[in-house]
A and B are shown apart, each in its own frame.
Chain A
Amino acid sequence: MELYDELASIVGNMYCSAKDGDCVSYARGLDPCLAEISPKIVVRPRSTEEVVEIVKCAIKYNSPILPRGGGCGLMGGVKPINNETILVDMTRMDKILNIDEDNHVVTTQAGISWSRLNAVLFDKGYYTGNMGPGSGLNAAIGGGMSHHSGGGGGCAKYGKCTDNCVGLEVVLGNGDVITLGSQASKHVLKPFVRLGHGSDLMGIFLGDNGTMGIKTTVSLKIFPKPTYFGGKTFLIKDRIYENVRDMIQEMMMKGWSKELGIYDFFFTPPPSVAGVTMDNLIKSWGDIKGGVIFYVTEAFDDRVLEANMETLEKIAKKYSTRELGPSPQQGNITDWFYGEQGHWQVYHSLFSVMGPDYFPATTEVMCPVSLMPDIIHKMDNWEREHADELLEVDAESGVSHVVMLNHNTCYIGGGLSATHDEEFKQGVIDLWKDQFRLLLESGCVLYMCGQIGSHVIVDSRYFSDEYYAFYKKIKKVCDPYNLISPGKFRF
């Protein structure tokens, strides 16, 4: 039997395709310029057993495998790097295996989307807290575990996607299946905690960008969804970055999420605000100039909510110029994002801000809160210094938003916005990498790497030789034939 026939016999003819139309639809990611290469074959397995058989088949034919969840990668993580790739579309593995309401843990197949999982959890009064990556609720849980994603709602309270993982099942590159977390022990009947039983082996697979194995089952903490929420929006015109930092730090001193119930805190810097107001995209903002912050807080009791809102408002007013609100018609976007729509996807709405055919080439990074103003100033300077080059490749640069995480860290959502124009692609890639280097050299940490970020990490040699060597050894152990997501991290 040939490769195709063997794969079809594993997943069934209906779920195996080498048709041009099917394959070409997997060539695209969310970025505008990394190569779009169609896989050779696409398969949609429905079980861990089928994934094991696919891996064994790939070993037999020495074919690279690319696991893909919701296909929401911003940095080329979901794009095949060669046309011999077997693309494993995980979205058929979308069964919820157990909801342990006694211990607040859900166990699900890794291909389920954040939207489907939360639709079920909401009906039971729960949610995943962190609602997934900013690139959309269509993203799969498995993808969230492969990247320390955030930005899709709830990061200020619940941290990154991976922070809430308490169990994983992974198919390794040799076809072995391992279980990680508490239920690695045959005596633990239901997963409940990540750490224990010695070293944190699960950590090897969290944020691995799909390189160490194929995640098939994930156990996540779930949380009772509070009944009440409130949010405010403020405009800041002076010492903008510094005032936002000081505001956050004062809120942190008052207890942040634990005391004040902060669910989300977003900051939109002035250039992004200008982009929005210039095209009148948020009509209620009029022609405001400056930076905008908004926060959302949740509570189970309306009196607690009221008290927390009062505390937060007092702090916000101290560091801001004026409130935009309180109604959505007066500029308070929280009621729209969280109240009216409920999708809580702030960031991915911004993908369209630049207009038709402009796409994000993002350099999303994490940095400590104290460093945030310095990083954004550096990004502004970088933009000024590269103005001509940006113009040449029809791209723009800037920080579109800053998202707070749950302790001391913020995501800085920066990068380029560029078109698909073939002649500019390499120029955009060069600038994209340059901005990555600036951020890494400034003390930032990449959380989502995909192709391009992982290449910068390796090519930059910012880490010790021993670090790279150790990383390679780990990869060799997990994927001895180097078949899973080859190319990332230069593996």
Chain B
Amino acid sequence: MVKNVADSEKKEFRRIKELEENIYSCVAVGDCRNALKGPYSKPIIEISCPNRENGPGFESYFARGRFSIARALLEGKIEPTEELAEIVYHCTLCGSCHEVCNNCVNPDMEINARTNIGEHTDIWEDLRADLVDAGVAPLPRHKEIFEFQKKEHNPYNGKHEDRLNWLSKDSKFLKPGGEYLFFVGCTATYRLNSMSLDFLSVIEKSDVDLTILKDEWCCGSINFRTGVEELGKETAIHNFNLFKDSGIKKIVTNCAGCYRTLKIDYPKRINEWDFEVLHSIELINNIIKEGRLTIKKKLSKKITYHDPCHLGRHVEVYDAPREVIKEICPDNFVELRRNRGNSYCCGAGGGVKSGYPEFALDTSIERIKEAEETGAEILSTTCPFCLENLQEAAEKIKSKIIVLDLLELVKDLI
């Protein structure tokens, strides 16, 4: 039973305590469940949290309810339990709740609860970290993954020494001292290394000098997302030292999750962080613009694009992939109904793919159906995590749409 305030002792919850004012700023109108956006002249888009369509759908699964949970913990009305953690971790950290919060964005106006709340996903991550401290989180499946990570420095339990098996031993990309350091990431190493090879094929057609470091560890995204702060920090420091020793100042990655982690999470935790971080699609876009890469053929198929949450809402990289698509397919691009800041999550993030695979897949199926509505033959994206989940969903519902990484298309057209 929920306890009365007087009956309980307050728990520590140091992180969410520091965010108490932000948490108490939620005005509870619940736009995080449903919101309409878009101008009067166009059909209004309905955007929402993946939890609305899939899963139990109780209030606790939405931002408004999660704020209530944080308040109840701070007020000692409920206890941290594994059961509570199951609810808190049923979230992809997609950031849609932040995007729609109180539904107002305008450079001339700031009447906005969102301003008072701050970044929603930061609060969810801190809440998770407090639950980890309280000994009730992360989820059992996450704990298994972290055991792999401690041993092999990746969440897939692949051998660390096999990390670069997909690359020939005498590859020029293993030579030190390039202009860019290519941070490959674990998914594009152990699961979808064709993505990495595609990227390198594209780079080979340009004059970009790229270096891959043999002793790269997992970026730690899964740790930061699931509140396992110490392991995340440990991996971040390892990678930071590795980068520093390489002498290279620019890092490029083709994983949206690694990108967000290197771009946002590392600088937050490492004071000396001084690297420029690019997503591969930003680099490709730049070198196309600079004339360092030429698109020789054009795509004739109709194509749409899924914004990965970690690239889009989290870091606001919306234009680069679209500019690349415009180069390869000037006349056949169609936007998904929910796009850019209003994009619908693929369902894989925030530890959900490992913690709640069914929820992840159901969410992804919804996105595939949305892509089918556009009439596109190709659904492109720029994140291995999204790619894998969307491909699985397309296969599950026997969709005819082809899901692929944008780099693969670029590779075939240069």
A334 to chain B, nearest CB (A): 10
Stretch at the interface among A131-139, A374-382, A435-443: A131-139
CA distance A91 to B58 in the complex (A): 9
A273-312 vs B, CB cutoff 8 Å, 1 = contact: the mask equals 0001001111110000000000000000000000000000
Instruction: Known contacts A17-B56, A42-B58, A281-B110; decide if A341 and B30 are in contact (CB<8 Å).
Output: no
Minimum C-beta distance from B88 to chain A (A): 7
- Within 96-139 of A, Cβ neighbours of B (below 8 Å) are at 113, 115-116, 118-119, 122-123, 135-139
Q: Mark A335-363, 1 if CB is under 8 A from B, else 0.
A: 01011111101001111110111010000
Cross-chain contact B87 with A21 (CB below 8 angstroms): yes
Bound state CA distance, A341 and B109, in angstroms? 12
Which residues of the other chain, B, contact A113 by a CB distance below 8 angstroms?
Answer: 33-34
Nearest residue (CB) in B for A340 is B39
B414 within 8 A of partner (CB) = no
The verdict on A67 contacting chain B, using a C-beta distance below 8 Å, is no
Note all chain A residues with C-beta closer than 8 A to B35. 115, 137-138, 343
| Other-chain contact of B30, A72, A118, A123, A329 (Cβ < 8 Å) | A72
Give A420 to B1 CA distance when docked, in angstroms: 23
Q: Are A351 and B69 interface neighbours, CB within 8 A?
A: no
- Candidate in A72, A280, A338, A357 with the most chain B CB atoms within 10 angstroms: A357
Is the pair B21, A342 in contact by a Cβ cutoff of 8 Å? no
Residues in A neighbouring B273, C-beta threshold 8 A: none
| A419 and chain B: residue at smallest CB distance | B24
Determine if A24 is an interface residue (Cβ-Cβ < 8 Å): yes
Could you say which residues of chain B place their CB within 8 Å of the CB of A66? none
Pairwise interchain contact B58-A44, C-beta atoms closer than 8 A: yes
- B38 CB contacts on chain A under 8 angstroms: 341-342
A25-33, A193-201, A390-398, A464-472 - interface stretch: A25-33
Q: In this complex, what residue of B is CB-closest to A136?
A: B29
CB distance from A169 to the nearest CB of B (A): 22
| Contact call B81/A20, Cβ cutoff below 8 A | yes
Given A38-B2, A137-B36 in contact, is the A284-B108 Cβ separation under 8 Å?
Answer: yes
Contact (Cβ within 8 A) B33 A138? yes
A115 touches B106 (CB 8 A): no
Name the segment of B72-80, B303-311, B315-323 touching the other chain: B72-80
- Expressed in whole angstroms, the minimum distance between the Cβ of B57 and any Cβ of chain A is 6
The answer to the question of A269 belonging to the interface, with a C-beta cut-off of 8 Å to chain B, is: no
- A281–B58 contact, CB under 8 A? no
B25 touches A357 (CB 8 A): yes
A22 close to B59 (CB less than 8 A): yes
Complex CA–CA separation, A122 to B45 (angstroms): 9
A15 within 8 A of B: yes
Task: Name the residue of chain B whose CB is nearest to the CB of A296.
Answer: B40
- A130-174 near B? 1/0 per residue, CB < 8 Å: 000001111100000000000000000000000000000000000
Interfacial residues of chain A within 51-101, with CB under 8 A of chain B in the complex: 70-72, 83, 89, 91-92
Measured between beta carbons, the chain B residues less than 8 angstroms from A338 are 40
Chain B residues with Cβ below 8 Å from A342 are: 36-40, 42, 44
Q: Is B112 part of the contact surface with A, judged by Cβ < 8 Å?
A: yes
**Contact call A282/B111, Cβ cutoff below 8 A:** yes
Residues of A within 8 Å of B45, CB to CB, are 119
* A residues less than 8 Å from B106 (CB atoms): 328, 336, 340-341
Task: Determine the distance from Cα of A323 to Cα of B102 in the docked complex, in whole angstroms.
Answer: 27
* Contacting pair B34 A349 (CB below 8 A): no
Whether B59 contacts A351 by the Cβ 8 Å rule is: no
B154 interface residue per 8 A CB criterion: no
* Chain A nearest CB, measured from B225 CB (Å): 19
> Does B46 reach chain A (CB closer than 8 Å)?
yes
A352 touches B116 (CB 8 A): yes
A229 at the B interface (CB under 8 A): yes
Assess the A138–B34 pair: CB atoms within 8 A.
yes
Cβ-closest chain A residue relative to B29? A136
Which residues of chain B in 43-91 are interfacial with respect to chain A, using CB atoms and an 8 Å cutoff?
A: 43-46, 56-60, 64-66, 68-69, 71-72, 77-79, 81, 83-84, 87-88
| Given A19-B83, A20-B83, A136-B31, residue A115 in contact with residue B58 (CB < 8 A) | no
A251 at the binding interface (Cβ < 8 Å): no
Q: Chain A residues near B32 (CB, 8 Å)?
A: 138
Question: Does A356 lie within 8 Å of B24, measured CB to CB?
Answer: yes
Interface residue? B103 (CB, 8 A): yes
Known: A21-B87, A24-B72, A420-B24. A15 touches B110 (CB 8 A): no
Shortest beta-carbon distance from A113 to chain B in Å: 4
B104 in the interface, Cβ–Cβ < 8 Å?
yes
Bound-complex Cα distance A372 to B31 (A): 31
Residue A14, interface by CB 8 Å: yes
The CA of A14 and the CA of B90, in the complex, are separated in Å by 14
Instruction: Check if B58 sits within 8 Å of A17, measured CB to CB.
Output: yes
- Whether a CB of chain B sits under 8 angstroms from the CB of A333 is yes
**Neighbouring B residues of A23 by C-beta, 8 Å:** 2
Flag if B34 contacts A115 (CB, 8 Å). yes
Closest to A328 in B: B108
Is B22 positioned at the interface, with any CB of A under 8 Å from its CB?
A: yes
Are B102 and A349 in contact, CB atoms less than 8 angstroms apart? yes
By the criterion CB–CB under 8 Å, are A25 and B40 in contact? no
Q: Which residues on the A side are within 8 Å of B42 (C-beta)?
A: 342
Q: Are A359 and B111 in contact (CB under 8 A)?
A: no
| A92→B60 contact, CB < 8 A | no
For the complex formed, measure the closest distance between the CB of B336 and the CB atoms of chain A, giving whole angstroms: 15
What residue in chain A is nearest B28 (Cβ atoms)?
A30
B413 within 8 A of A: no
Kindly list chain B residues whose C-beta atoms are within 8 Å of the C-beta of A349: 102-104, 111-112
Inter-chain CA distance A355–B21, complex, in Å, is 10
Whether A282 and B109, one on each chain, are in contact in the complex, defined by CB atoms closer than 8 angstroms, is: yes
Interface pair A356/B25, CB less than 8 Å apart: yes
Chain A residues with CB under 8 Å of B167's CB are none
A27 touches B68 (CB 8 A): yes
For residue B27, which residue of chain A has the nearest CB?
Answer: A351
C-alpha gap A462/B84 in the complex (Å): 47
In the assembled complex, B231 has its CB within 8 A of some CB on chain A? no
Interface hub of B2, B42, B79 (most chain A Cβ within 10 A): B2
A116 CB, nearest partner CB in chain B, Å:
6
| CB-based contact B40/A138 at 8 Å | no
Give the contacting residue for A24; candidates B78, B81, B107; CB below 8 A: B78
The verdict on B113 contacting chain A, using a C-beta distance below 8 Å, is yes
The distance in angstroms between the C-alpha atoms of A350 and B110, with both chains bound, is 10
Q: Which residue of A lies closest to B44 (CB)?
A: A122
Q: Which residues of B contact A (CB under 8 A)?
A: 1-2, 21-22, 24-25, 27-46, 56-60, 64-66, 68-69, 71-72, 77-79, 81, 83-84, 87-88, 102-113, 115-116
Q: A20-B79, A119-B46, A342-B39 are in contact. List 13 more A-B contacts (CB 8 A).
A: A19-B87, A22-B59, A24-B2, A25-B60, A29-B28, A30-B27, A30-B28, A72-B29, A115-B46, A136-B29, A282-B108, A348-B27, A349-B104
**Can you name 27 A-B residue pairings with CB atoms under 8 Å?**
A20-B83, A21-B78, A21-B84, A23-B2, A25-B64, A42-B59, A44-B56, A70-B33, A89-B57, A115-B34, A118-B36, A136-B30, A138-B30, A276-B111, A282-B111, A283-B108, A284-B108, A329-B108, A339-B40, A340-B39, A340-B106, A342-B37, A342-B42, A343-B35, A348-B27, A349-B103, A352-B27
A residues lining the B interface (CB < 8 Å): 14-15, 17, 19-30, 38, 42, 44, 70-72, 83, 89, 91-92, 113, 115-116, 118-119, 122-123, 135-139, 229, 276, 279-284, 328-329, 333, 336, 338-343, 345, 348-353, 355-357, 359, 420
Which 4 residue pairs spanning A and B have beta carbons closest together?
Answer: A25-B65, A119-B46, A138-B30, A136-B29
